[in-house]
Structure 1
Amino acid sequence: MQRLFEFIFNHYVYSLALAVVTYLLIQEFFDVAFKKFNHITPMLAVAKMNEGGIEILDVREAPDFSDSHIENAINAPLSKLDEQLPKLASDKKAPLLVVCQNGTRSLTAAKKLAKAGFEQIFVITGGMDAWTEDYKLPVASRRKQKANA
């Protein structure tokens, strides 16, 4: 036991690094084990949309949403999501697809939605970047709307 303390004292940087990595691994384990939402690729999202009964929640800011968005998506910017939760809470058991620009804000939104009691939350991996650039899936855009007007 004395040698262990001697090692820790002599190699405090390594010991601290081990403690930090251990903490992060345990935190990741609990996040994965107890998370209440799933990640889904854009192609699987399209399949779920084709099944019907799924709401699409776009958590980007209004200007980004108006430039292009998934057809029939509801815009609820992450900064105002707490205010719009009562409007979304009509059926908390219905599947909800959450998307942002690159997949980071949608994770935060999914955590908020899970805390609010939503049961079936799906986060699109890669967000709208993956939707439009990687998978080349269609979007409703301002340019199309102007062309039709």
Structure 2
Amino acid sequence: MNFLIENWFLVAAALLSGGMLLWPLLQAGGRGASVSSAEAVQLINREKGVLIDVSEPEEFAKGRPVGARNVPFGQLEGHKSLPSNKALPLVVVCPTGARASRAAGMLRKLGYEKAQVLAGGLKAWQEANLPVEKSA
């Protein structure tokens, strides 16, 4: 006990460093996990994952990952484009990933436990040279 009192700064440093190591895990738990473009493609191909684009219709028309379903962020609850099988992995995307992060949290609350965010959004998808389609 005397050691702890005399070396309180070492104890504080150890607690602080442990907290810093745990912080990303706690953050991910609140927002939901993110996946890279390559991991998203694997989920789609191997586990029948569904791409959900939470962009507004105008943004969706300008460009989206091929095969993505448009479910605007404000219309998530009960949208007809969401899969009825809530066990399927969902990869949620938007232009930057900010809206997708909030949407994934909402989808998990709606029962889609495997909802994940595409890290970097549509921009990361394009940088990985993955196919993008636009509406005419």
Task: Give the count of matched residue pairs.
Answer: 118
2:133 matches 1:140: yes
Percent sequence identity is 30
Task: Name the SS for the 1:82 alignment partner.
Answer: coil
Structure 2 unmatched runs, 5+? 1-19
- What is the CA distance between 1:36 and its match in structure 2? 7.5
Give the equivalent residue in structure 1 for 2:10: none
How far apart in 2 are the matches of 1:46 and 1:27?
28
How far apart in 2 are the matches of 1:37 and 1:60?
18
When normalised by structure 2's length, the TM-score is 0.73
CA distances 1:91-134 after superposition (whole Å, capped 9, x unpaired): 111111100111100010011011111121121000001111x2
Q: 2:53·2:92 contact (CA, 8 Å) conserved in 1? A: yes
Q: 2:86·2:111 contact (CA, 8 Å) conserved in 1? A: yes
Structure 1 segments of 4+ aligned residues over 3 angstroms from their partners: 25-32, 34-37
- The equivalent position to 1:70 in structure 2, one of 65, 72, 75, is 65
Structure 1 unmatched runs, 5+? 1-24
- The equivalent position to 2:89 in structure 1, one of 78, 95, 110, is 95
